[in-house]
Structure 1
Amino acid sequence: MTRNKIIEQSKSAFAEALFCLLKNEDFENITIKQLTLESGYSRRTYYRYFGSKTAILDEMFLKYLHSYRECLLSTPIRPEDISKRFINFLWPYHQRVALLAQQNLLIPLLTRHISTIANTLLDIKVPWRQKKSDNRQYYYVIIYSIGGFCVLLDTIFKDDLPEKPQQISEALNSALAEIALQVNKQ
């Protein structure tokens, strides 16, 4: 096994341990000792990769963001597919997202990375973004949108989740279509 695989395996073990512990403990009460026992790795390994429990969440988030970027690059994007694609990508992790929301960790996690999210989304070529336009204006719109989306996700995942991801994406698309209709009337 390569060194990178070993490092990734250890980091993943700590993330798994953290989410396992979050099912029964408050984030603030989880100790390094609990994380090392649950992960099967030493305290020394923990400190080699993480300076805090928050760093575990950050590492995991950036890994998922990279995967989401790859997902977006895999097929052409249409505006009406955005919410469906996002929810479908997120759904396999919905139990983790719900734990983060219920422990009031989701919004702080997303806001710590808001500029990385915006830059990642700006990096994706989409037909509706003008090619020679100043990306700064899109950056601000994306930041604004992400802020609202963070609050929306937090609200959805704190409440009782629908059984199917389509219910969420359909509700989002319906609301967005209504907003666009009202904007176009003006």
Structure 2
Amino acid sequence: MNLAHRKRQLVRDELAEAALKLLAIQDFEDTTIDQIAAAAGVSRRTFFRYFQSKEDVIVESLATVGEELRAALEARPTGERPATVLRQTFCLFEQACAEIPEKTLRLTRLILHTPALNARYLERQAEWKAALAETLALREKASRHDLQPVVAVGVAFAALDAALGAWVAGDGKRDIADLLDETFTLAFPR
């Protein structure tokens, strides 16, 4: 990674952190781009060099999740049931929640409870679902028209959403891994 790229990433990270700090004390709708830029110590024009909207500042933190999920799914041993493969793939969410729990909780709460952000999250999630269903189909040697991988991935994301919702509702007190185990058991009974 060259110096210019590191600098660019640093500014992006500062804008995202400034947005999260502001959003921790005020409503998303009341937070302006000017406030985010000022809190990060940059101009409004600089903000727009990095992001198209304030929603992008928050949703951008999810940019690499799809690729990471796909790589995790591809790395799983062959022969595992789809439910097991998907549950283990979703350990990525556990890691994020464990590494920086307060920030992840704030971000997750914001995404789940702000309609504009939730819509953007669901757009991203649709992309992740398609990529994971394609990868799962390849693993299972299923045809392009087989619905099993699509349904399995859809059910797995429903389990993830239920676990994240419960985690946020419980103010992060319950372990996300336990919640994922519980929701996956409900979603994929033996």
Q: TM-score of the superposition, structure 1-length normalised?
A: 0.73
Aligned counterpart for 1:153 among listed residues 139, 164, 168: 164
Looking at structure 2, the residues matched to 72 and 57 of structure 1 have their Cα atoms a distance apart, in angstroms, of 25
The Cα shift of 1:66 comes to 3.2
- Residue aligned with 2:171, SS: coil
Aligned to 1:180: 189
Looking at structure 1, the residues matched to 142 and 172 of structure 2 have their Cα atoms a distance apart, in angstroms, of 41
Say if 2:132 is the partner of 1:115: no
Is contact 2:133-2:150 (8 Å) kept?
A: yes
- Residue aligned with 1:160, SS: coil
Say if 2:173 is the partner of 1:169: no
Question: Which consecutive unaligned segments of at least 5 residues does structure 2 have?
Answer: none
Say if 2:106 is the partner of 1:102: no
Is contact 1:36-1:46 (8 Å) kept?
A: yes
Question: Which consecutive unaligned segments of at least 5 residues does structure 1 have?
Answer: 182-186
**Structure 1, 54-63 or 157-166: larger mean CA deviation:** 157-166
Say if 2:28 is the partner of 1:27: yes
Looking at structure 2, the residues matched to 162 and 62 of structure 1 have their Cα atoms a distance apart, in angstroms, of 27
Aligned pairs, number? 178
Evaluate the alpha carbon distance shift between residue 12 and residue 63 of structure 1 in structure 2; reply closer, same or farther with a 3 A threshold. Answer: farther
Deviations 1:7-63 (A, max 9, x none): 222212111111121211111111222211222222111011212111112321113
Looking at structure 2, the residues matched to 95 and 117 of structure 1 have their Cα atoms a distance apart, in angstroms, of 25
Q: TM-score of the superposition, structure 2-length normalised?
A: 0.72
**Structure 1, 26-35 or 55-64: larger mean CA deviation:** 55-64
**Structure 1, 8-17 or 134-143: larger mean CA deviation:** 134-143
**Structure 1, 71-80 or 114-123: larger mean CA deviation:** 71-80
- Percent identity (aligned): 19
The Cα shift of 1:81 comes to 6.0
Evaluate the alpha carbon distance shift between residue 69 and residue 42 of structure 1 in structure 2; reply closer, same or farther with a 3 A threshold. Answer: farther
Q: CA RMSD in A?
A: 3.1
Amino acid aligned to 1:130? E
**Structure 1, 30-39 or 61-70: larger mean CA deviation:** 61-70
Aligned to 2:87: 83
Deviations 1:143-174 (A, max 9, x none): 45424532442233132323544432332344
Evaluate the alpha carbon distance shift between residue 25 and residue 66 of structure 1 in structure 2; reply closer, same or farther with a 3 A threshold. Answer: farther
The Cα shift of 1:68 comes to 4.0
Alignment of 1:2-13 (within 5 A): 2-13=3-14
